[in-house]
Structure 1
């Protein structure tokens, strides 16, 4: 039995907030200024600073960083000397002896609970007081290292499975280009047709019978899709809503048939999901932020269409999507989307290739989910 005491984060280390560099202080030379978006992978305008700065905001490889505003996260910095912008803590381990990686996992586990205590109307953030008062288990150093080793090993396995899935996605894209060329410029000069000529675009019933919030259930006869169900990777049924059979009968348009493709048209535009025979729900309806695409199968294979649409998506968004506050893809403008139409036999060959890839993807996905479940269970065991 491991003996464990508990300590507040404020009693474990010193947390140094970054410096509020002003826009006029940013230039094209000097040390990079690191912001939250640079840690999360969403950087768009990396700034540099070539003047004097407080030495405490200087970053070096191996520093642990915690973003405490907007996007909560804990990160290990390994990209050379840099400067820390505001809304990020640099952790200085100067109060007690603690394994760096054990500390990071402990903070990661507590981020969800910390998010419930965020403040601010425009930019949610954690106060220093709330952060300092978070309590974590503090076993002896050898046990900390053992815990960190187990979790890091398991995270490495999870990352390996995710990389395999990413490589399969790249393989599908490469096969598509090999067979059909660049779909944006139609480099193989296949015949083209407007999207609305070769598939029916079916909107949902948005009239008086549209389900009210109290009519949305956790279980029921008909799955009523929400925005989280249609992702960049297809269907995700982790969080599902349902309506009764009576409500389903009262609605008109918007019910899926096998072989249909769902397309999100508001907010996150362009996510696609294929209602294949493998989807475990017999009754599914779309909500108001998506449409059903029902292909003319004598011209267009659904699986070919999905990959074609994904590869053209950036171009489609740039030319067609509307709405500044919430991007939209109105049905009335979908006739502007021009699709290349290779011979159906060629489309079917590509679809067969994708289906074989999907079998491998399914096996890897199950292994990934099992590993993630074990990781989450161990995090709960060690830090819950």
Structure 2
């Protein structure tokens, strides 16, 4: 087994974004153009993209083609999103394509798993420096390269593991669909309100408070293992997933009492992706600068309200109320004036009970998924160093 430098094995090619001012580059295009969002939402292979560009955009912007069966990886902002192209494509400037120089025998799938398993941000203070690599840094990375039979064995093992992971992810998706279907059956769409339930402003049934301004929290306030902040990035799949490294001390936590999250509060991301919300399950957390919290006072079950906020059409409703061109934003006044249907409490409780039952199943599947993901990370460390 040998170790080779990426620049020796591959020609690393950055993509490009055609001018957004030339609308003709983007209208009616047939050439797939990959963004980080596309890599986030695809599996091992990428064939369809959210946006396409025209042949004029390719020619006049001098964008280099990424041939079929090429590994592409994001290396800015969200590092390590990886896929293999299923057809000739193009990418933006935050994505690197790995063109094989033909000097070594390297399976495309082996490179794919190497890129997924590599800790590209090792040694980087993410909170201070942000997530960014450059072509030079990436070129100097090295990879362990076994012979072809060993590469095939590694890929086969990781493919089988990935299939098991994907199956469980699919089950979780189906369970989420089951909850949404039950919601529609009982209440209809919360925005169009087809059953004609009374509507109220959110401020009439809950207290809404925005997280602390950035000036109240500084880099030297952060410690490990104490009171975690909840920012939008910590709200995943309707659940709070705190970062043990982004916490504040007991003393600083007491000083920020106005921003304490209580059990059964709903924490809502107010920047970026709209409608990202979760019910707080424990005391001791702190609302982050990018979030706000909703504290129900009457007439609404918090778990039920969270399902309204995260419902697809209600997310679009929130987007329509948000401001900002580069990044969508909400403030407390906007959220206070959200109109929500008020359903009978017995029905809310019935639905919440159903959700808790589904969540128990999801928890079991998620536990299996976590174990498989941990095993994958260990194997990747063993295989790729």
Aligned length in residues: 369
Instruction: Please state how far the C-alpha of 1:64 moved relative to its aligned partner.
Output: 3.2
| Post-superposition CA distance 1:220-253 (Å, at most 9, x none) | 4x44444443345221024354444444444442
Pick from 106, 109, 134 the counterpart of residue 101 of structure 1: 109
Correspondence for 1:365: 366
The offset of 1:339, in angstroms, is: 0.7
* CA gap 1:354/1:106 in 2 versus in 1, 3 angstroms: same
Q: In structure 2, how many angstroms separate the alpha carbons of the residues matched to 1:83 and 1:214?
A: 42
| Cα pair 2:208 2:336 within 8 Å, conserved | no
The correspondence for 1:139, drawn from 146, 151, 158, is: 146
Q: Which moved more, 1:328-337 or 1:224-233?
A: 224-233
Aligned equivalents of 2:52 and 2:200: distance in 1?
42
Report the Cα distance in structure 2 between the residues aligned to 1:191 and 1:88, rounded to whole angstroms. Answer: 52
Distance 1:303 1:378, change over 3 A: same
Aligned to 1:352: 353
Equivalent pair of 1:203/1:253 in contact (CA under 8 Å): no
Residue 225 of structure 2 is matched in structure 1 by 219
SS of 1:179 mapped into structure 2: helix
Question: Pairwise CA RMSD of aligned residues?
Answer: 3.8
Gaps of 5+ in 1: none
Structure 2 counterpart of 1:258 = 263
1:315 is matched with: 317
- The match for 2:118 is 110
Instruction: Write the distance in 1 (CA, Å) between the matches of 2:17 and 2:286.
Output: 48
Pick aligned residue for 2:170 from 163, 174, 178: 163
Secondary structure in 2 aligned to 1:328?
coil
**TM-score, structure 1 length as denominator?**
0.80
SS at match of 1:200: strand
Spell out the pairing of 1:52-67 with structure 2 (5 A cutoff).
Answer: 57=64, 61-67=68-74
Q: State how far apart, in whole Å, the 2-side matches of 1:52 and 1:183 are.
A: 44
1:213-362 matches, cutoff 5 A: 213-220=219-226, 222-276=227-281, 279=282, 282-297=283-298, 299-311=299-311, 312-319=314-321, 321-324=322-325, 326-362=327-363
1:377 aligned partner:
378
CA displacement, residues 278-314 of structure 1 (integer Å, 9 cap, x when unaligned): x4xx4233234333322234x1111111111112122
Residue segments in structure 2 that go unaligned for 5+ positions in a row? 42-48
Residue 76 of structure 1 corresponds to 84
CA distance in 1, matches of 2:307, 2:131: 37
Residue of structure 1 equivalent to 2:45: none
Is the Cα contact below 8 Å between 2:183 and 2:351 reproduced in 1?
Answer: yes
CA distance, structure 2, for counterparts of residue 250 and residue 20 of structure 1? 46
